[in-house]
Structure 1
Amino acid sequence: MATLGERWILSILLVHLQTGLAATGRPAPPSHLECFMPCDEKSCSPDIHCTWDPGPDPQITTNYSLHWEPTNSEQGHVTRPTSSSVIDRQHFNHGQLHVWVEAKNKHGSAKSRENVFNTADIIKPPPPNITGAMAGAEGWQEPLEIEWRSFCDELHLSMGTCDIRNRAEGNQVWLEHEGGYLHTYTLESPLPDTFYEFQVRCNCSEGLISDWSTSHRIRSAERAPVGKLDIWMDCGLLPASFDCSLTWKTLPLSQACGAIVGYKVKLFYNNSTWRLLNLSPAETRGLLLCNEKQCRLTSSLKDVSSVSASALNSRGATAPSHLAMQTQGKDEDVKTINLKMNEENLTVAWDLPSKPLAKLKEYVVQYKQVESRLGQGFDWVKVTNNQTTVFFKGHFIKHTPFQVSLFTISHDMTVRYLSSVIGYSLEGIPSSVPSFQALSIAATRVTLCWTAVPLSKQNGLIQNYQIGLGEKNVHTVRASPQTFTLKHLSPGQEYEVWIRAVTKAGPGAKATTTFKTESENYDLLKLILLPLLFMGLICAAIVCFCLVAENKMCPQVNLLFNKKVPDPRNSNIFRGMKHQINDPFGSISIPIPEPHPNISVLEVVKIQPDAVKSTPKETSDQEEQRDDAVTKECGRMDHSHGREEYSKMVDSDEERDREEDKDDCWSSSEEDQLTSGYEKHFMPTALEILDV
């Protein structure tokens, strides 16, 4: 018996032999030669029909001939060729025959292997006729049982055994059950609400087995759906968006147990209210959109705290699936996601947390095609809390970004976002940056800024940007931030700078901008003029403010800009001392009116510049007018020496001595020329005391 290695070598030699024959132009030898006498429901054909496989389609015209000869012949070996696949009954006798096929073209010929048989053993009955049990009123049958009728009796032969095969409708693979069956067959545990195809073939006590019968279709009974819906939410690109829509996967046939006629969705809101939705997948528009794999609720989940959903068929509904809305913000235990991606497969891996999470129930891994329509290029899978790898099979378009995200679901069904990463099945060259310009220009440097290439046009992960002056002076900068300062430039010169993005596939198209650096003289002029201009503005503001304070502001504010020092000449203390000096007996006969004087009221009077020029208004009190006139004259004289500020000091006896003070005001003008500024402001002079 040949070993596996020997059989492998022989097959290689056979292939080479056939290849060599084809190369020389000789035809390939025919194979799988079979001969039989076909029967119908009443009788069998007296002729022998043969079939064979001619092999690969020949490139040269090839003729086939059928040859046979009896094993025992009085005439010896007699060969009778025919150009058809039928051996006429008149050309052979009952007994044993040797049959083969020969292929011939202009380059040569080739023969098939001989088929040796007895003409009594090649009777082939017709396929049986299947008569399945009647289907129920709803179109299905339970259990799945078929019956059939063979035609051995009509051929005057006893009944043999039959083979059965079946498959669910749409499945390409048949499940075969060989021998041991006579008239009936029952399929145990079929899928609910599923069409099944059955075929039968039988043989009689003599002859060959029949061909397979025509397919017989039976629909299995429907049952209430089992399991739960796999519900999830599509929140767009994370973590920027939290405006989500509810989605779930359609149930497989083994769980649907029939045609799903609707879904029941319950929405619980943050304000403790809820809403029940009865949805039908038959609706092409409205709140629900479904395809073969997923269904989606078109309304937003804004202000929704949690959801539940179940599927329904005519026999019942699944248990509800519950899910709380995604928690805002990222989890502290951020995961690093590793991707292996091509156009057909995506493998995602991550690390387990440093410390076990008691509330963690499962992980959710999802992928989403960037800038796709809602529900397209989107899928997810849920795995246990100790699994760190998942596998997706799908169509991942090259040069197209896919965002892969990782989530956790706790035992209370709360969802928390962990991390995301962008992946490509195949990277390409990126597009040019949409905007590139000079932001700040100086004499020897410039600050450049640009807008990042949009994610949909990157065609790959941007590794860095290249900025260059010509082809030799090239700088490589990080992808973020989108600014760069170009130094060591010449003043007053025009430059053209380019930028391009770089991915794993290489650099993309260039974007350019031009600018002219400033001259050095202009920079020096700015350094000198700007501080001077700033100081001039400050001085002008101070002068204007002082003028406003001098002429228009209220007296309380005016005090801040006009210093007031009390004039000691107005004090009754000094007036008393004056009388004592002039009258030597004053100390005996005239008591000092203020042995312990207290300055009780300080009155500050501001003399307006126009007070002297204007004529005082007439009033009923003539004496008060005269006092005001004297005060104005005194103030005018003091103002010429800088003493307008020190107008007078008011105490308790000031009113009765007003007349005496009128003369003092006039006499003080001569003395002011001989005294210092401090004495003018604070000290009484000898003239003031003696009143000479």
Structure 2
Amino acid sequence: MATLWTRWLLSILLATLPSCFAQDPPAAPSPPECCTPCGEKNNCVDIHCSNPGLDPQIQYSLHWEQANSEEGHLINRFAPGWIIPRENFSHGELLVWIQAKNEYGSAESKKVMLKTANILKLPPPEVASNQEAFEIFWNFTCDEHQRSYCDVRYRTKTEQVWIEDKDVSGGYTIEIPQPCTVYELQVRCSCGIGLKSDWSASHRLRSTETAPVGVLDLWQDFCGITQTGSDCVLTWKKLPPTCGLILGYEVKLSYNNGTLEFLNVSTAEPKGLLVCEEIQCHLTSSLKDLSSVSVSAYNAQGATEPSNLTLPMPGKEKAFHVEMNAENLTVSWDSSSQLSDNLKEYVVQYKQIGSPPGQGFDWVKSQRTAFFKGHYKKYTPYRVSLFTLSHGSEVHHISSVTRYSIEGSPSAVPAFNVFSIAANQVTLSWESGPLSEQKGVILYYQIIVDSGVQGQYVYNVSASQKHKYTFKLEHLTPEQDYEVRIRAVTVAGPGENATSKFKTNSHEDLAHRISTIMIGVSVVVVICVVIALYSIFVRERNVCLPSFYYKVPDARNSNIFKNNHLINDSLSWICIALCEPHPKISLLEVVEIQSRVFKSSLEKASDPEGLTRPVIGDECSQMDSQDDKREEAVPEECHRTDHRYGREEYSKMVDSEEERDKEEKKGEDCWSSSEEDNSTSGYEKHFMPTTFELLTV
């Protein structure tokens, strides 16, 4: 029942609603504007009418009739303009009006009386100019019975309102133009009683320039705090455009070695040395080895004062606060302390890391805070730096930080490796990667070690400014398989994992064996060196020579030891004491051997008891001097004896009886040969001293 009642009320409401919103007839439109435009050949024929204020939702029609006739004409057209053809009217006067009509009624505008002779509209004049005189002139021709009437209007480039002068003919001059200002001028004309032409195209004049005023805001594109300037470029902000057209820049470069270089860079033909954008300009050359620079802008009238800048030097560290989002960057620092007398102001700059020179870069000079407004990309690093600028144009770098407008989770850690694997420890290495790929400020690196049976271990390694990292995992189990994962962590959370697997070595690993072998080899080498040094020391006291040395006798060649196996062939050294400080035997008994030579010698001896005499062998110098004397006493005919010791070379000695007999006959001229051969072998003859040698001692 309730539903039927609701439907009945709704039907009544719908029936009465249209009458509540009944519309009125349209409002009366404004009168039309009509003219007879003339082309270049003065073919003034049709009449054109328009009304720019018409509502496109309403139907309009143009009506006209001759002033002396009641015959009317109309044009139904849904358009802002109408054209009255020449064949539909005759010269004279016309009444013209507009009618608006909708379903609720119609309305008409006021009727306008048009004189066909007075609605002629000639084309606008052509304008020329004289820049030096700051004058424009034009050419507008009328009939010989008519004169031209022209209007001029002008405004500066920065203004919106026109200044107009009427009834001007021939030309127009702005008397006192503002310097360094661009003016825009237009002209329209008419002949006699005709309508004014449309305004001509805008013609621009630049007033006489003066020398540019002020100094350039000079700085260097962010290049760290190094003084080499190898990756820095010089940049500056343009002067305001109202100061005239800048033709170029004069640059003076001062090098560390004291040399100067001057550059004149034209803005019209920079030749690759200068790049200018909407606000900034920068040189393409590097600032390497430069100590200071100065730049001035010039035009046709003069140049600005040079702006000087020294390359930044390290200064006293000062903390500052940075707030950054997608649209704003705000930098503040402690300004409680007053600026020193030499400190002029602070300079704050930001640079999009990885961007080319002149892009993603700006700076502000201030004494308290710095504010930048722009569009800062997310996950993109920006380097924000604080500098001080002194009155002497000295620049000191205070501090720098890296910030992101919006941070994200970092990508996987690059160059992750496991090396130096031992039984209980391994060493991990990785790199931080480029800042442009980190997507945020890395707070720390998280290392997760999984050994399967023993569970997981987590280590957090603090991030720093260095590029390469190493970390040692200790207290591992020998011969155990491990899996280690590493990931970087930012405020947005941890990034992707980089994974590596390894197995620890046993206790007796190869490295341990090699080290043990090397230690053993080192010990052997040390022992050999000690033995060699000891041998050299012993040689100074005892001559220890190999058995093959030609001055040392070999006992196995003596007849005494023939057929005797007491000698051990393994002995390869025989030592003979030359200078023993305390010899056990100090006296040598000389036994007389009967011979003709010795008998005659003994008879001549004054001492009958001199057959036996002691020989003291304490001094080596005495032995050497005696050997020298014996060298002189031995005859040259004894060619078989040694030139120093009076003995035959051992290599030439023969022990056979036959050879000894030959030697005895051959050596009868030598006084010491015949008697000794009968009682001694060749070995003893060669190495034992002779009686004469003992007597002459």
| TM-score bracket for the superposition, by shorter chain length | 0.5 to 0.7
| 1:37 match | 34
1:197 counterpart = 2:184: yes
Among 341, 363, 367, which residue is 2:350 paired with?
367
Distance 1:543 1:279 in 2: 77
1:495 counterpart = 2:482: yes
Question: C-alpha offsets along residues 103-130 of structure 1, whole Å, 9 cap, x if unaligned?
Answer: xxxxxx8999965453459987748846
AA partner of residue 216 (structure 1):
H
Change (3 A) 1:152 1:165: farther
| 2:535 match | 551
Question: C-alpha offsets along residues 478-523 of structure 1, whole Å, 9 cap, x if unaligned?
Answer: 323734455675542212222222345554433211111345x659
Q: How does 1:505-524 map to 2 (within 5 A)?
A: 505-519=492-506, 522=508
1:465 counterpart = 2:445: yes
The answer to whether the 8 A contact 2:281-2:358 is kept is: no
AA partner of residue 81 (structure 1):
N
SS of structure 2 residue aligned to 1:552:
helix
Give the C-alpha shift of residue 455 in structure 1.
Answer: 1.7
Q: How does 1:68-217 map to 2 (within 5 A)?
A: 81-82=76-77, 85-86=81-82, 88=84, 94-95=94-95, 97-100=97-100, 115-116=109-110, 118-120=112-114, 126=121, 129=124, 134-135=129-130, 140-143=131-134, 145-146=135-136, 164=153, 166=155, 168=157, 175-177=160-162, 181-183=166-168, 186=174, 189-190=177-178, 192=180, 194=182, 196-200=183-187, 211-217=198-204
| 2:663 match | none
Q: Is there any run of 5+ residues in structure 2 with no aligned partner, and where?
A: 1-25, 543-576, 591-612, 621-697
Change (3 A) 1:176 1:141: farther
| 2:684 match | none
| 1:358 match | 341
Give the C-alpha shift of residue 382 in structure 1.
Answer: 4.4
The answer to whether the 8 A contact 1:128-1:149 is kept is: no
The answer to whether the 8 A contact 1:363-1:406 is kept is: yes
Distance 1:86 1:555 in 2: 136
| 1:625 match | 616
Change (3 A) 1:462 1:478: same
Give the C-alpha shift of residue 49 in structure 1.
Answer: 1.7
Question: C-alpha offsets along residues 348-377 of structure 1, whole Å, 9 cap, x if unaligned?
Answer: 44342634222111222223332333x242
Among 391, 396, 402, which residue is 2:382 paired with?
402
Distance 2:105 2:425 in 1: 89
Question: C-alpha offsets along residues 434-481 of structure 1, whole Å, 9 cap, x if unaligned?
Answer: 211234545565443311122232233223333335798665543237
Change (3 A) 1:533 1:154: same
- Give me the TM-score of the superposition, normalised by structure 1: 0.58
Distance 1:296 1:443 in 2: 59
AA partner of residue 389 (structure 1):
A
Among 196, 207, 211, which residue is 1:220 paired with?
207
Distance 1:33 1:165 in 2: 30
AA partner of residue 402 (structure 2):
I
AA partner of residue 625 (structure 1):
I
Change (3 A) 1:214 1:265: closer
| 1:16 match | none
The answer to whether the 8 A contact 1:35-1:50 is kept is: yes
| 2:372 match | 391
Give the C-alpha shift of residue 416 in structure 1.
Answer: 0.7
AA partner of residue 100 (structure 2):
W
Distance 1:175 1:65 in 2: 34
AA partner of residue 249 (structure 1):
K
1:335 counterpart = 2:335: no
| 1:664 match | none
Identity %: 37
Change (3 A) 1:190 1:179: closer
Distance 2:28 2:587 in 1: 145
Among 402, 407, 416, which residue is 2:396 paired with?
416
Distance 1:557 1:32 in 2: 142
SS of structure 1 residue aligned to 2:32:
strand
Give the C-alpha shift of residue 308 in structure 1.
Answer: 2.3
| 2:49 match | 49
AA partner of residue 251 (structure 2):
V
Change (3 A) 1:497 1:531: closer
Distance 1:133 1:407 in 2: 53
| 2:304 match | 318
The answer to whether the 8 A contact 2:153-2:162 is kept is: yes
Change (3 A) 1:472 1:182: farther
Give the C-alpha shift of residue 338 in structure 1.
Answer: 0.7
Distance 1:31 1:547 in 2: 132
Aligned residue-pair number? 518
AA partner of residue 468 (structure 1):
I
Distance 1:367 1:65 in 2: 62
Change (3 A) 1:301 1:201: same
Change (3 A) 1:125 1:87: closer
SS of structure 2 residue aligned to 1:317:
coil
1:377 counterpart = 2:374: no
Give the C-alpha shift of residue 147 in structure 1.
Answer: 6.3
| 2:666 match | none
Question: C-alpha offsets along residues 269-313 of structure 1, whole Å, 9 cap, x if unaligned?
Answer: 445443433344455546555555544445444443333222233
Cα RMSD of the aligned pairs, angstroms, is 5.7
Give the C-alpha shift of residue 52 in structure 1.
Answer: 5.1
SS of structure 2 residue aligned to 1:453:
coil
Change (3 A) 1:341 1:45: farther
SS of structure 2 residue aligned to 1:435:
coil
Change (3 A) 1:44 1:240: same
SS of structure 2 residue aligned to 1:553:
helix
Distance 2:34 2:417 in 1: 89
Among 300, 303, 308, which residue is 2:294 paired with?
308
Change (3 A) 1:120 1:409: same
Structure with bigger gyration radius: 2
Question: C-alpha offsets along residues 558-581 of structure 1, whole Å, 9 cap, x if unaligned?
Answer: 9xxxxxxxxxxxxxxxxxxxxxxx
Give the C-alpha shift of residue 319 in structure 1.
Answer: 1.8
Distance 2:419 2:438 in 1: 24
Change (3 A) 1:556 1:228: farther
Change (3 A) 1:493 1:132: same
Change (3 A) 1:311 1:533: same
Distance 2:458 2:119 in 1: 84
Report which stretch shifted further, 231-240 or 508-517: 231-240
Change (3 A) 1:428 1:491: same
SS of structure 2 residue aligned to 1:217:
strand
The answer to whether the 8 A contact 1:431-1:453 is kept is: no
| 2:410 match | 430
Give the C-alpha shift of residue 48 in structure 1.
Answer: 5.3
The answer to whether the 8 A contact 2:125-2:187 is kept is: yes
The answer to whether the 8 A contact 2:235-2:358 is kept is: no
The answer to whether the 8 A contact 1:268-1:275 is kept is: yes
Change (3 A) 1:556 1:406: farther
Q: How does 1:656-667 map to 2 (within 5 A)?
A: none
Distance 1:465 1:234 in 2: 32
1:253 counterpart = 2:241: yes
Give the C-alpha shift of residue 414 in structure 1.
Answer: 0.7
Change (3 A) 1:127 1:67: closer
Question: C-alpha offsets along residues 188-242 of structure 1, whole Å, 9 cap, x if unaligned?
Answer: 6446375x43235689999998644322233433433332233223362345964
Change (3 A) 1:340 1:156: farther
| 1:278 match | 264
